[in-house]
Amino acid sequence: MKQILIISGKGGTGKTVISGCLAVLLKNKIIVDADVDAANLHLLLHPKIKESYDFVGGKLARIDKEKCSGCGTCIEICKFSAISEDFEIDPLFCEGCTICSYFCPESAIILEDRISGKYFISETKYGSLVHARLGIAQENSGKLVAKLREIAKDIAEKEKKDFIVIDGPPGVGCPVMASMTGVDLVIAVTEPTLSGLHDLERILELANHFKIPVKVIINKFDLNPEMSSKIESNLKQKNIDVIGKIPFSEEIINSVKNQIPFLEYAKMFNKNRDIAELIEKILNNALYSTL
């Protein structure tokens, strides 16, 4: 079973479009939406939720007013100013560090599990999808990504799947690292802009650190052919393949608006079939030249 991560340095490059295409193209697989802070693959795949679980992202302090003597030690000691004058804990500021509980003379502070979001195992017409919804202003998305991957791996092993397709989060922070460790191939989707190039370089460094092969797709390459060539020659020096260049297409945008993976949309409405074939070819090359 091989794990493929689709990633981009930032949102809006077409990463989820490519993930949706892989969902259509690969037959025996599990799909993971690891972009837990801004999950949107479900919009293309229309999952039916089969199982739903709370995600415990950390701890949150609670003061037992019956026991509290009002000494004020906790207010003084909390470095995150999470405790108000009337001894209420602000969940937005509490980091669950436990210090207040440790120093409370009345043992009046309890650290409870913080429910930071939910995660789901769903069915889609393209196979099982493991995805999540993180609460507003909740952290620990790296931990949630690791959880989703663990579940997907369990299912994949039980059901003898050939692939796990992971739609990764943007950037290079903790959730990206959690989505990249242990994968067999990274497909990086970039756009022909200077920021696209910088973001891509950061992804390449990370993948290099984990010693994972990377294949690059330049999306909307024709919007800035000069920059596309610059990205290509830059990657050539690093011995990294640009496996394909996808032209800008209004129909790709329309497929997203219609919430249909582009490979299906192109067939269904007989639009930009040439681009759909190109994407199919690019993805097949990426997979079968590496795995």
Q: Which residues bind ligand SF4 (CB under 6 A)?
A: 61, 63, 68-74, 78, 80, 82-83, 87, 89, 94-100, 104-106, 108-109
CB of 178 vs ligand SF4, minimal distance in Å? 24
CB of 113 vs ligand SF4, minimal distance in Å? 13
**Which residue's CB is nearer to ligand SF4, number 85 or number 250?**
85
**Which residue's CB is nearer to ligand SF4, number 57 or number 196?**
57
CB of 140 vs ligand SF4, minimal distance in Å? 15
Rounded to whole angstroms, the Cα distance separating 149 from 34 reads: 8
CB of 285 vs ligand SF4, minimal distance in Å? 50
**Which residue's CB is nearer to ligand SF4, number 100 or number 216?**
100
**Which residue's CB is nearer to ligand SF4, number 97 or number 278?**
97
**Which residue's CB is nearer to ligand SF4, number 96 or number 117?**
96
**Which residue's CB is nearer to ligand SF4, number 86 or number 250?**
86
**Which residue's CB is nearer to ligand SF4, number 100 or number 243?**
100
Within 10 angstroms of residue 102's Cβ, the number of other Cβ atoms is 12
Rounded to whole angstroms, the Cα distance separating 193 from 199 reads: 10
CB of 106 vs ligand SF4, minimal distance in Å? 4
CB of 64 vs ligand SF4, minimal distance in Å? 8
CB of 70 vs ligand SF4, minimal distance in Å? 5
Rounded to whole angstroms, the Cα distance separating 191 from 235 reads: 14
